[in-house]
């Protein structure tokens, strides 16, 4: 993957059967042995499959911590998230935001990718604070916290998506 390649969601798709748009944001710990190779595979298959399924989003990586946003038709986003929870490369999968949305934040991206270190210093600090806030009180019901959902939404709305190769 060259750094001057971009991976956009096809503008030809429409959301299926007027199904509502849905967003899931989760965090997980990477537990594989070859993060660079696994990331290349995850991004390649995500970009191909998400474009077919009308799913958009972003994957942020900080060392071995993943934070990902999935957006699209509710049944497809929840199905994709269920697959992720079964993927042996993820452990401690924690849904931090799950809600209906009116517009996509990453509409042009089948799966954008950035290392947290590629973000600006303000976003790096915000990510660290957000990660620590989420991880400190681990709870199965954390995604129901409206304040946290607001913080997650605001963080991702400020992220400029660089085109980064793995």
Split into its structural domains, the chain has a count of 1
Q: Is pLDDT above 80 for 132?
A: no
- Per the model's pLDDT, the better-predicted residue between 80 and 146 turns out to be 80
CA dihedral for 89, 148, 150, 19, sign (positive or negative): positive
Position 135 scores a pLDDT of 64
At how many degrees (to 10) do helices 121-135 and 146-157 cross? 160
Residue 38's domain comprises: 16-154
Q: Is 29:35 a contact under the CB 8 Å cutoff?
A: no
Position 9 scores a pLDDT of 43
CATH classification of the domain holding 40: 3.30.70.100
Distance from C-alpha of 142 to C-alpha of 55, rounded to nearest angstrom: 23
Q: Is pLDDT above 60 for 8?
A: no
Report pTM: 0.76
In a domain, 11, yes or no: no
In a domain, 165, yes or no: no
pLDDT over 70, % of the chain: 70
In a domain, 163, yes or no: no
Distance from C-alpha of 162 to C-alpha of 114, rounded to nearest angstrom: 7
């Amino acid at each position: 993957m060259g750094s001057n390649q971009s991976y956009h969601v096809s503008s030809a798709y429409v959301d299926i059967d007027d199904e509502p748009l849905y967003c899931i944001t989760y965090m997980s710990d990477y537990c594989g042995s070859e993060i660079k190779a696994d990331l290349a595979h995850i991004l390649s298959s995500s970009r191909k499959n998400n474009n077919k399924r009308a799913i958009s989003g972003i994957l942020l990586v900080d060392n071995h911590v993943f934070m990902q946003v999935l957006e699209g038709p509710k049944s497809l986003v929840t199905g994709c998230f269920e697959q992720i929870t079964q993927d042996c490369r993820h452990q401690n999968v924690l849904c931090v935001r799950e809600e209906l949305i009116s517009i996509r934040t990453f509409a042009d991206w089948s799966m954008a990718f950035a290392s947290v270190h590629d973000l600006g210093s303000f976003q790096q600090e915000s990510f660290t604070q957000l990660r620590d806030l989420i991880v400190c009180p681990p709870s199965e019901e954390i995604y129901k916290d409206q304040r946290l959902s607001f913080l997650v939404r605001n963080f991702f709305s400020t992220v400029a998506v660089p085109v980064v190769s793995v």
